[in-house]
Amino acid sequence: MPDVYFKKTIDFYHSGHTLHFHVAQDLFSSHQIDVGTARLLRALVDAPPFAKILDLGCGSGLLAITAAFEHCTAVFADGTLRYGSCFDAAEPRMCTLWRWHAAEETEHRAVAFNLYQALGGNFRWRIRWYLYVLALFAMDATRQTILNLWRDGSLFKPGTWWGAATFFLGRDGVVWRCTRPLLQYFRRNFHPDHEYLQPAAQTLAGEWLQAHAGSYRVVR
């Protein structure tokens, strides 16, 4: 009995090997092997016997988005660890929680970026997705903050707006401390571990974790 869903055959050639794919639908890459599948197939053909191959199956676009979000959070994490005045009025327990989270974000800030680069992600799309993430990050953070302040009843209090102005434009304000690190991502030779501030963020994170080891418990 013929396969009623069969529509065409796609051939894939690499290193003397030929693979034939019977394509059932026209929904995705029905005319040729997509870039991600081609990379996976080449890895399979060239891999030694019993090699382990990891197929993330998520596409370089999602990796670029993840890398962009990781950079944004790493920049804010660095500010949290580097500039103590950010938590002058914070409850000590919340201060500890945020700085622990900042150290954790710093530790894995380059994972998605390195994977995107290793899979052949290009500079143009990295920047396009970064612009998308910056816009999304700003809109989402603004919306959530306004909703929280509205529900708390403090949205229209003068002290709230003064606090916001200080947070963004004060001595260690976000505008002065985070703009340059965020713009670094637009450099073609950018890498999360190439820093211009000293001590490095990784150093700050390690020192904080060591100094506050009694404030948290590692769960394995």
Structure confidence by residue, pLDDT tens digits, 136-188? 989 998 999 999 999 999 999 998 898 888 878 877 777 888 889 999 999 99
| Per-residue CA distances from 209 to 28, 91, 94, 105 (Å) | 47, 19, 15, 12
Residue type, 126: R
Q: What is the mean pLDDT of the chain?
A: 82
119, 60 in Cβ contact below 8 A?
Answer: yes
CB half-sphere exposure, 5, CA atoms < 13 A: 7
pTM of this structure:
0.68
DSSP states of 142-189: HHHHHHHHHHHT-TT-HHHHHHHHHHHHSTT-HHHHHHHHHHGGGSTT
Q: Is 60 exceeded by the pLDDT of residue 58?
A: no
